Amino acid sequence: MKLIGWVLALAAAGLTPAAAQVTQEAGAQSYASSVTPGTAAPAVAPAATPAPGAVTDPTPGASAVAPGAPAAPAFEHAAPTPNIGMPIPGAMGTQEQFTPIGREGAAFHNNWLLLLCAAISLFVLALLVYTIVRYRRGANPTPSRTSHNTFVEVVWTLVPVLILVAIAIPSIRLIRHQYSPPPADLTVKVIGNQWYWSYQYPDNGGFEIVSNMLKEKNEVAAGARFRTDKDGPRLLAVDERLVIPAGKVVKFIVTSNDVIHSFAIPSFWTKIDANPGILNETWVKVDRPGVYFGQCSELCGARHAYMPIAVEVVTPERFAQWVASKGGTMPGARPAATPDSTAATTVTPAAVEAAPAPAGTNAAPPTGAQPAVTGNGTAGVANRATDSSN
């Protein structure tokens, strides 16, 4: 009896695939017979498997896949040029200037003020030597009793006035140029904090970057970013640089979140206080691409000496790439499409009826029947239910 039971079980297992196939064929024949004679049965396409990262629209008849937003392109920062835009050990005088105001200011300082100071110093030294020699005790046993001299008094009054006028004329001209900027091509808001800088770009979508000083390798934990020679000199390199385009007028709106700071870049001839609650303005126009360094120049607390400023000047094309890498936009440019803004395409019955019949069908779909939509099996099931009810 046990042997007979095993034989029956094996026979039933062998007949199961055949029985399933017969059942499937019978269901297909029953479905085909329910369709109106003379028309082909609408094809039911299998549901498409969405690609990784695709967004599937659950609405029947809608486009199933929406592309994701492209990743922001990477931006490679430039390495600073040695002895350009930074202090030089053992150097004398001001840093080399790279702005029109800086060149005018440096010329006024080097070619006029220093020469005038040297001339005044030599004149006073000559008077002092002459007085020591001419009116020494050996040459004048009897001291002079002169109480005043009109000519000398007129000279020592007029000469200082003329010196001040000679300084004031070019100085006021420099101030007028410095505080009468041309129309700005770019506006950057500079905010001082204890003890770091933050920069906002209202013309490029309003994004903000935070700039902190980079520490040395032996001052950070394992795996953390530290300063290298490509970042800049010690105590001047930062993790996020202020980036501006070359050849463009850049207006800085400077303020503070806490105490008084000072935004100073020596190679741009720029120094202006950052006062809390007050907006101060200055401007630069740099024609040479490169990296330039500055520091906070107002005593602002315990870490005042660790608030460096690093400005990277790039070509306008590179500036647009940097803005894109930060998620910003250039003025007049259309914002990039996002997954939320990619609307799904809905297939309406009128559009389906107007569309040509798919290849491989014998005739157009019957009136009132909704054809299947590839990539969504829900529409095919709805069609079958409609045809079965007919």
Centre a 10 Å sphere on the Cβ of residue 35 and count the other Cβ atoms it contains.
Answer: 18
How many C-beta neighbours within 10 Å does residue 252 have? Answer: 24
312 contact partners, CB below 8 Å, separation of at least 6: 77, 78, 241, 242, 243, 244, 290, 291, 292
Using DSSP's 3-state secondary structure scheme, residue 387 falls into helix
Residue 2, pLDDT score:
52
Which parts of the chain register pLDDT below 70?
1-73, 334-390
- pLDDT for 65 equals 37
Distance CA 150, CA 34 (A): 130
Tokens for 104? Answer: 């005018």
pLDDT score at 334: 65
Locate the domains of the chain by residue range. 18-80+182-353, 100-141+150-179
Q: Give the pLDDT confidence of 241-264 residue by residue, as tens digits.
A: 999 999 999 999 999 999 999 999
Q: Residue type at 144?
A: S
Q: How many Cα atoms occupy the beta-carbon half-sphere of 126 within 13 Å? A: 6
Cβ pair 257, 270 in contact under 8 A: no
Structure tokens at 310: 């690093």
| 370, 350 Cβ separation under 8 angstroms | no
> Tokens 């009132």, residue?
368
| Nearest partner of 190 among 304, 307, 321, judged by Cα | 307
pTM here is 0.64
Give first-to-last CA distance, the chain, whole Å.
53
C-alpha to C-alpha distance for 295 and 308, rounded to whole angstroms: 4
pLDDT at 19: 43
The answer to whether 34 and 385 have CB atoms below 8 angstroms apart is no
Q: In this predicted structure, what is the pLDDT of residue 145?
A: 82
Residues 354 and 351: their CA atoms lie apart, in Å, by 5
Q: For residues 366 and 390, is the Cβ–Cβ distance under 8 A?
A: no
Nearest to 75, CA basis, from 324, 353, 349, 358:
324
Question: Exposure pattern of 165-176 as b/e (b: 16+ CB <10 Å)?
Answer: eeeeebeeebee
Is-contact 379 52, C-beta < 8 A? no
Does the domain spanning 18-80+182-353 belong to CATH 2.60.120.200?
A: no
**63 contacts 57 by C-beta, under 8 angstroms:** yes
Which two structure tokens, joined as six digits, stand for 162?
A: 């003329």
